[in-house]
Structure 1
Amino acid sequence: MDTEQQPGEDPKDPKGPKEQGGWFSAGVGSVSAASFFSDSGHEIATAVMPSFLTSTLHASPGALGLVEGVSDALTGVAKLAGGPLANEPRRRSRIATGGYLGTAVATGAIGLAVTVWQVGVLRALAWASRGIRSPARDSLLASLVPPHAYGRAFGLERMGDNLGAVVGPLLAALLVTHVGIRETLYFAALPGMLAAVAITVAGREARRTLTEPAARRRIRLNIKELRRAGMARVLVPIAMFELGNVAVTLLILRATQLLHHGTRDLAAATSLAVLIYAAHNAFAAVMAYVGGHWIDRAGPRVAFATGGVLYVAAYGMFAVSWHGWLPLLAAFVLAGSGIGFVETAESTLVARMLPDALRGSGFGVLGLVQAGGAFASSTVVGLLWTVLTPTVGFTYAAAWAGASAVTVLVLRGAAGSSRLLRSGVE
């Protein structure tokens, strides 16, 4: 069992009828639906981005890595800024709705770009909107369920997100074939509008459950409180994992280049790579749901470590120059399974550790660490790929994933000792 269980997280703890009742509600389902619709939209753009940049706009893999890295970095800054705003329960729905709309509009507008810098600006705007909404959405979701069901709730939300990432690439593959790459990008805004509607439904349910006075909380990050709660210990393995978690567009580009071989032309290679990428997201959805139930029984650290090991195996396969689709499918399945475990574990760790008044700040700091690591990993791997070889880049990423799996298990023992000491003091 995980040793970081906090007071009130035991399902036998009599915290009221909600604690002992079912965890699923219309609000929880609406949060998952919002993630599904939004991801369906921006994954259309993600799926065709490698070909759009490298073929239509004639950019290099390094430029793709830089665009994705900068966008991820801005996502982190936006998450950090949105964290303190999300500490206020009555503000969460408006922030989340606005963020979903911003992501939809900016993502669809990428199709209008005629230069690489325009793509970079629009991608950054989309990802910044995505970042500002994330702490609000996650804090809203945690407020809708009892603590003993955090794993299942975040697993369901991650499942919705990853199912959207299945639908998005499939739509992209269909649209690329019939209307072309640039025109495909225009369709990315439509599902995002539905996401904004869905998150509004969840926000209304969350507001009905509020029992606290209408007085607003101060907007501040609460670094000292987060540190006292143990956030630094949790963030160490997360940061290590994210330093190796490269943007999926680089994985798609790797598959596209390897499949563009022999008699297979670029359009066919792109479509096949996008279809294989859909399997990545399908397995991520399944493992997020399964992992959420596992986490509620065994704790998030084991699931996180398992995800890190799966990533080592996946990157090891991406490092090899396969030209057949089957090994690439296996690599995408391993990576998808790994991210399904890791993302659910990361959110559950933060939700379990922090009270509602700090969760917005906690999710904001988590987002900054995730995005900062993604910026570093995507940029470094893209440059290693361009200057040296793809094998060097993916070996670098695999090393960080393996180190994170080891570190989270090593720190687990330290977390247990710390908890026992706190119990003794209390």
Structure 2
Amino acid sequence: MSDADGPPPAGPGAERPARMSPWRFVVAFGTVSLLADFVYEGARAVTGPLLASLGASALVVGVVTGAGEAAALGLRLVSGPMADHTRRFWGLTIAGYALTVASVPFLGVVGVLWAACALVIAERVGKAVRSPAKDTLLSHATAATGRGRGFAVHEAMDQVGALIGPLTVAGMLALTGGDYGPALGVLALPGVAVLAVLVWLRARVPDPAAYERELTPQPQPRTAGRLPTAFWTYAAFTATTTAGFTTFGILAYHLVQRGLLATAWVPVLYAAAMVVDACAALVTGWAYDRVGARVLVALPLLSAAVPALAFTDTVGWAVAGSLVWGAAMGIQESTLRATVADLVPAGRRATAYGVFAGTVGAASLAGGALTGALYTYSIPVLIWVIAAIQVSALGVLAALRTRAR
């Protein structure tokens, strides 16, 4: 049995080499993420209106979606250590994706508010179950392709699905006169494809850790004690810069409330930001493999620029701020994950990804509350406070580089 889904091989002769090049593995996993994003981003684009059509108030929608995001991030504190302890990386990955793709198609047909709410949260729980294990599997292949480039290509493909899914659902709603059943039911097709590609990929590469062992043939322990101090410093940097990161919800609120953009154009702007997200992931991913963590300096700088540009009364500057937001998201979703893999030994990597996600979730909650409160109080104060937070993040990043040296 491979060390990806059971105990480590007894010796070198027991190792099962990967039957796919590292780049093909990354692209295949990117295809899985593309198809999965097709499914769940398509559903998330209409979650609010769907729940409202079943009688949900704004409070219920907020509580349910907030609980879903909390589950998607917070439960990784459990699923990450579980993956490291059981070594069932493929099993947890497939189970998490299965829960997601099974939940979404039923959303449009349950017809009962409590059941729809349960399915919304179940979809997010599926993400929590799979993410640390999935990122660990991917990290093994990116050891050969280059951490930054591998995670960047994966993120770029992921965003293609995030673009296609909402557009498909929107088109189906237009064709059916707003019937959520067919609009969400059609997402069962890419959902089946997700599981088919995963099963095929597991059969081809039962032990992705072989990619990393080929580069570092000396045996590594299954666990490496405590997470490295450098990881905790890095988590502090991530938490600081995330706490000063403006959410797209606040950006969209500003654009609509100030009359800068019609509501119908907000999804179009979001789609454009996702394109920038993918491009930024590719650029910074390649740069990370050449210059290392220094490329992360760009994240606090971009995050500080977002409110300064977006919270103006000029359409051009506000749109530019939203696109800069997309660039910052691209770094968050690719290069930040790549750095975790370089800081933590393979035996504790899923745990690290779980802790990292929990840190990001807590900081995102704090940042959303902070930007929302300061936006109401004073936009100039908001801009200066965010700038100060990002300067602090640069200080923590400098400490991380010093510790790494």
- Residue 351 of structure 2 aligns with an amino acid whose one-letter code is S
Shift of 1:151: 0.6
Where does residue 399 of structure 2 map in the other structure? 414
Distance in 2 (alpha carbons) for counterparts of 1:94 and 1:286: 32
**1:310 maps onto 2:307 in alignment:** no
- Write the deviation string for residues 44-97 of structure 1: whole angstroms up to 9, x where unpaired: 12222344456774633x654443332121112321212123326952112111
Where does residue 47 of structure 1 map in the other structure? 45
Shift of 1:249: 5.6
Distance in 2 (alpha carbons) for counterparts of 1:396 and 1:147: 46
Where does residue 13 of structure 1 map in the other structure? none
State the secondary structure of the residue aligned to 1:207. Answer: coil
Where does residue 364 of structure 1 map in the other structure? 354
- Write the deviation string for residues 370-404 of structure 1: whole angstroms up to 9, x where unpaired: 2223344456666x4xxxx9655988986776455
- Write the deviation string for residues 12-65 of structure 1: whole angstroms up to 9, x where unpaired: xxxxxx9xxx974321111111111111211112222344456774633x6544
Q: For residues 348 and 82 of structure 1, do their structure 2 counterparts lie closer, same or farther at Cα, with a shift above 3 Å needed?
A: same
Assess if the C-alpha contact under 8 Å between 2:235 and 2:356 holds in 1: yes
Assess if the C-alpha contact under 8 Å between 1:68 and 1:247 holds in 2: no
Counterpart mapping for 1:168-187 below 5 A: 168-179=165-176, 180=178, 182-183=180-181, 184-187=183-186
Where does residue 135 of structure 2 map in the other structure? 138
Distance in 2 (alpha carbons) for counterparts of 1:58 and 1:259: 27
Distance in 1 (alpha carbons) for counterparts of 2:396 and 2:71: 29
- Write the deviation string for residues 231-258 of structure 1: whole angstroms up to 9, x where unpaired: 2101112112333456656655665666
Distance in 1 (alpha carbons) for counterparts of 2:172 and 2:72: 28
- Write the deviation string for residues 256-302 of structure 1: whole angstroms up to 9, x where unpaired: 666798xx7xxxx34x3222211111111111111110111122353
Counterpart mapping for 1:285-364 below 5 A: 285-303=278-296, 305-320=297-312, 329-364=319-354
Where does residue 238 of structure 2 map in the other structure? 238
Q: For residues 209 and 244 of structure 1, do their structure 2 counterparts lie closer, same or farther at Cα, with a shift above 3 Å needed?
A: closer
% identity of equivalent residues: 23
Q: For residues 206 and 47 of structure 1, do their structure 2 counterparts lie closer, same or farther at Cα, with a shift above 3 Å needed?
A: same
Figure out how many residues of one structure are paired with residues of the other and give that number: 379
- Residue 352 of structure 2 aligns with an amino acid whose one-letter code is G
Assess if the C-alpha contact under 8 Å between 2:300 and 2:394 holds in 1: no
Assess if the C-alpha contact under 8 Å between 2:80 and 2:133 holds in 1: yes
Assess if the C-alpha contact under 8 Å between 2:140 and 2:209 holds in 1: no
- Write the deviation string for residues 201-233 of structure 1: whole angstroms up to 9, x where unpaired: 443444255568xxxx98x9x7x511x342210
Q: Which moved more, 1:190-199 or 1:352-361?
A: 190-199
- Write the deviation string for residues 140-170 of structure 1: whole angstroms up to 9, x where unpaired: 0111232670011111111111121121232
State the secondary structure of the residue aligned to 2:57. Answer: coil
Over aligned residues, Cα RMSD in angstroms? 3.8
Q: For residues 279 and 89 of structure 1, do their structure 2 counterparts lie closer, same or farther at Cα, with a shift above 3 Å needed?
A: farther
Q: For residues 26 and 401 of structure 1, do their structure 2 counterparts lie closer, same or farther at Cα, with a shift above 3 Å needed?
A: farther
Q: For residues 253 and 412 of structure 1, do their structure 2 counterparts lie closer, same or farther at Cα, with a shift above 3 Å needed?
A: closer
- Residue 166 of structure 1 aligns with an amino acid whose one-letter code is L
**1:111 maps onto 2:79 in alignment:** no
Where does residue 8 of structure 2 map in the other structure? none
Where does residue 273 of structure 2 map in the other structure? 280
Distance in 2 (alpha carbons) for counterparts of 1:401 and 1:174: 38
In the alignment, structure 2 segments of 5+ residues that lack a partner are: 1-16, 214-220
1:121 to 118, 121, 140: 118
Where does residue 9 of structure 2 map in the other structure? none
Distance in 2 (alpha carbons) for counterparts of 1:396 and 1:46: 32
Distance in 2 (alpha carbons) for counterparts of 1:117 and 1:399: 42
Distance in 1 (alpha carbons) for counterparts of 2:121 and 2:111: 16
Assess if the C-alpha contact under 8 Å between 2:36 and 2:101 holds in 1: yes
Q: TM-score, normalised by structure 2?
A: 0.78
Q: For residues 390 and 41 of structure 1, do their structure 2 counterparts lie closer, same or farther at Cα, with a shift above 3 Å needed?
A: farther
Distance in 1 (alpha carbons) for counterparts of 2:121 and 2:369: 15
Distance in 2 (alpha carbons) for counterparts of 1:381 and 1:115: 35
Q: Which moved more, 1:360-369 or 1:107-116?
A: 107-116
Assess if the C-alpha contact under 8 Å between 1:151 and 1:293 holds in 2: yes
Distance in 2 (alpha carbons) for counterparts of 1:84 and 1:287: 31
Q: TM-score, normalised by structure 1?
A: 0.75
Q: For residues 403 and 37 of structure 1, do their structure 2 counterparts lie closer, same or farther at Cα, with a shift above 3 Å needed?
A: farther
Assess if the C-alpha contact under 8 Å between 1:311 and 1:398 holds in 2: no
Assess if the C-alpha contact under 8 Å between 1:255 and 1:328 holds in 2: yes
Assess if the C-alpha contact under 8 Å between 1:68 and 1:375 holds in 2: no
